[in-house]
Amino acid sequence: MNLLTTLTLLMLLSVTVGYKILFMVPFNAPSHWILLQHFVKELVTKRGHHVTAIVNTPITNFQSPNYTEILIDPPFIEGATHRMQAVYENSDQNVFHSARQYVNVSIHSSEIGLQSENVQKIIHSTDLHFDLIIKEDFFHISWLMFGYKFDAPVITICTYGHTDYFDRSMGLFTPWSHVPHQLLDYDENMSYSQRIFNLLLSTYDAWLRHWIVLSKQNQIAQQYFSHLIDEKGRSLPTVEELQQNISMIFVNTHRSIFKSRPQMPGLINVGGAHIKPPKKLPPDLQEFLDNSKNGVILFSLGAFMRSDAMPKEKIEIFLKVFGKLKQNILWKFENESLANVPSNVRIQNWLPQSDVLAHPNVVVFISHGGMSGTYEGVARGVPFLFSPLFADQFRNAQRLVNTGNGLRLPFNKITVETLSSHLNELLTNKSYSNRAKIMSRLFNDNLVHPMDEAMFWIEYVIRTGNGAQHLKSYAIYMPWYRYLISN
């Protein structure tokens, strides 16, 4: 056997002998899970790993001998329709209330998942082995105990962007003087009053995390994993200790949109990992787009928010304005029996959004500013009309407004006049489409594709044998007063 044959066999062996990975998504948010599915599929189909996923809803039309699904039953459901209506009615968010709301949701969903009989079987299993734990990072800190149970390193994936506690988990203190809180739409060059408000919100968020999140999540972890005391012959670690042991955090950000901030080697930016070359569209949709010689305006509020839950008067405003345009409109609207739809408006309850955005006739994207859809619009070079509704959408929208990629129209300020004027500005002022093309080039200009980078680091953490401890800063283990004092 010659050297070339030997090397080829070794390369094939490294691809086909996969690692065993436990992938956990406790929070039942469609947009989060749609994004995370790309990581699961890449691990299974392209990298040959064996993935066991604990999820609320199954992946549709996906089967593999290397993929096992453990469903949280009953799934976590938080009154989605009622919440949507409340979001539309209160789109001018109170950030302090929002911060507390996400804490409450994360605590509730943590317990719902761990109570599930299917998950209990994993918790109490004695014959399972995993080389790595991957968990969605949405405050479910008690779930880090799975890493302790299986003596496996942990990587967390955030679907929404960079937050202060990621910094602390990797040994950084966020410089609030120039890094705005994730719920604020401020730029880095904050005014004095903005810095004060940022300080107040960031301090409140840190207080919530330390005194509410960590305390409650520690109780949950001790309750559902208490049997490990006998199994391992020692007391359980605290969730603070588990958090310090996270090997890496994959952050859904991209340098072309979010400006520089202090980094650690364990913070990996993977924004755009889900974006692939556009696929062929269904024939009827392709024909609609091809024949739209005056252009198409895409209107989509993502996977969670439903257009049919919008207040009736707002729906009527959109229809009235759309009917006066020479462009065609493609609207993701979940109730296809909508009445009085103008002839230039096509409604569908589902759209291959990223593939539609790649069509050259799409001239404007009306969006709420969700992270995945924002990246898709930037990648395809389409200018935006943003109407953010909650969470990080205000920040995402303002980032691109500041760079000239689009305009922002608050949902509660939408009228026939304001909507018409904003759309007219985007359709007639070529600076927006020119800037969108520049941003697209910046976004797509990567050393490697973000998904390939994520896969490298996943396999790297496993290969090190100790969770890549050499990349961790000792500052993780230091209290704040030692961190800030040199002697």
Domain extent listing, the chain:
15-273+449-484, 283-444
User: Domain 15-273+449-484 is classified in which CATH homologous superfamily?
Assistant: Glycogen Phosphorylase B; (3.40.50.2000)
Residues 6+ apart with CB under 8 A from 231: none
Q: What is the mean pLDDT of residues 263-291?
A: 96
At residue 467, φ and ψ (nearest 5 deg) are: 70, 25
Provide the whole-model pTM.
Answer: 0.92
Q: Which residues pair with 396 in a beta bridge?
A: none
Cβ of 128: how many Cβ atoms within 10 Å? Answer: 12
Quote the longest CA-to-CA distance of the chain.
77
Is CATH 2.30.110.20 what the domain over 283-444 is classified as, yes or no?
no
Rounded to whole angstroms, the Cα distance separating 261 from 233 reads: 42
- Mapping DSSP to helix (H, G, I), strand (E, B) and coil, where does residue 236 land? coil
Find the angle CA(157)-CA(162)-CA(163) to the nearest 5 degrees: 105
Find the angle CA(127)-CA(132)-CA(138) to the nearest 5 degrees: 110
Q: What is the mean pLDDT of residues 317-335?
A: 96
Q: What is the mean pLDDT of residues 325-350?
A: 93
pLDDT tens digits, residue range 358-395? 999 999 999 999 999 999 999 999 999 999 998 889 99
Q: What is the mean pLDDT of residues 268-275?
A: 96
Q: Are 319 and 342 in contact (CB under 8 A)?
A: yes
Residues 6+ apart with CB under 8 A from 2: none
- Mapping DSSP to helix (H, G, I), strand (E, B) and coil, where does residue 412 land? helix
Q: How confident is the model at residue 14 (pLDDT cuts 50, 70, 90)?
A: very low
The number of residues making up the chain comes to 487
- Whether residue 44 has pLDDT greater than 70: yes
Q: What is the mean pLDDT of residues 266-288?
A: 96
Residues 6+ apart with CB under 8 A from 214: 141, 239, 240
Q: Which residue in 81, 67, 145 sits closest to 110, CA to CA?
A: 145
Q: What is the mean pLDDT of residues 292-309?
A: 91
